Amino acid sequence: MLSRARLHAAQGMDNPAARPIVGGMVHDADILIVGGGLNGSCLALACAQAGLSSIVIDALPAQKRADVGFDGRSYALALASVRMLSALGLWDDLAPQAQPILQIKASDGRAGEGAAPFFLHFDSAELEEGPMGQMLEDRYLRRALLQAMEDHPAITHRPDSTVIAQTTDGQASVSLADGTTLTGRILVGADGRRSATAMRAGIKRTGWEYGQTALVTAIAHELPHHGIAHQFFMPPGPLAILPLTGNRSSIVWSERAQDAKRLMAADDAAFLDHLRPRFGDFLGEIALTGQRHSYPLGLSIANAFVAERLALVGDAAHGIHPIAGQGLNLGLRDTAALAEVLADATRRGEDIASPLVLARYQSWRRFDTAALAVTTDGVNRLFSNDNPALRAIRDIGMGAVSAIPALRRGFMRQAAGLSGDLPRLLQGRAL
């Protein structure tokens, strides 16, 4: 693909822009990516390493993506995801804004009672690789991805654009609301749980709602957190307290849907009054330091991750409960796997959208996704209740895992994203 400067010059002389030619067919780009969020952006950058061009079709305006204000949203990036961002050339600039996760403590809890006596404790000092993960605010990651896309000549970002139709017969093609038609070799849906890309392809979903809503915001607190992430399993749902830079923490607070609705409608003072008995006083006085967000919780898995000349990544392929903090990390595993499959197919001279190539991606990601979905669903059902017998069993279980070094380190490696068949990018290696 032409560099942006050369492309603009050509267009200024009323000459058509150069397009990739594959098998006698002219395309606007190799890959059409629907969805300009984290997974779509990372996929475009990863595929660019293999010389594949992308058009990222983004429904949001660029200004909204690049907003420098802190809105309370942050991500728990597993160590493997950090390695991927490093392999994409992003982490060095992001690292100063990140907070290492040095320890994880998980326990049962009730409002006003604090943690149960038996709990699960992970300490990154037991891992040779360093911190299990990093906390990073949404504003820094999105802005870095946006800038990297704008700087790369193989990536065209089309913000404020909506796909209204698609075809995958012989080539991938999408029609935009403004009348534009774009073509490519493969279409990728990175457009969330309600993926219109998947629906237009006839891909159905399996799942259910939990009757819970996640409340997400950031808290300033009086005392330092020492890089420790806490998870309290309350009867209505888990409360995660995740360390940010300074004396701040991100919270993901799961409540029953009807209670969450009332909490979101309450003013800040009332919201904090309900949070304090659950949060506890181990970090001193607390105050809101970001906007409040909410989203319903459920399990939603696409019945297929691929179709004719089409692949799904991230929430478009799977939406799981945030109880393990693996939503984004699972999506990045998708993008790393798909990018590697497409890169290797390109080097072998294969059609990157052939059924055999796409089958490799699906077989790589389906089992891992299904296993994590089953695990998070089971853990949520086990812990989101106040049954005394179950409380006793799970408390003893967490204490036992914490006391057995081999089991403890195994769970830690899983939390860090270091287990399983890792794509090269998640190992910190370029494609």
Provide the number of structural domains found in the chain.
1
As a whole number of angstroms, the distance between CA 358 and CA 356 comes to: 6
- Band the pLDDT of 107: cuts 50, 70, 90: confident
DSSP for 301-324? Answer: EES-SEETTEEE-GGGTEE--GGG
Does 384 score more than 90 pLDDT?
no
The 3-state DSSP class for residue 73 equals: coil
pLDDT digits (tens, 9 = 90+) for 402-413: 777 777 788 788
Contact predicate 352/58, CB 8 Å: no
Does 309 score more than 90 pLDDT?
yes
- Locate the DSSP E strands across 257-337: 286-288, 293-302, 306-307, 310-312, 318-319
Average pLDDT over residues 255-270: 96
At 4 the pLDDT is 38
- Band the pLDDT of 9: cuts 50, 70, 90: very low
**What domain range is 202 assigned to?**
4-427
Q: Among residues 187, 191, 184, which one has the least CA distance to residue 161? A: 191
Output the six-digit token pair for 360.
């490799």
Mean pLDDT of the chain, nearest integer: 88
More confident residue, 146 or 325: 146
- Band the pLDDT of 22: cuts 50, 70, 90: low
Query: What CATH number corresponds to the domain at position 393?
Result: 3.50.50.60
Q: What are phi and psi of 142, to 5 degrees?
A: -65, -40
What's the burial of 279, exposed, middle or buried (CB within 10 Å: 0-12/13-18/19+)?
buried
Q: What percent of the chain has pLDDT over 70?
A: 87
Does 335 score more than 90 pLDDT?
yes
At 17 the pLDDT is 43
pLDDT digits (tens, 9 = 90+) for 173-210: 999 999 999 999 999 999 999 999 999 999 999 999 99
Highest mean pLDDT, choosing among 18-27, 101-110, 346-355, 417-426: 346-355
Q: Are strands 103-110 and 228-234 parallel, antiparallel or unpaired?
A: parallel
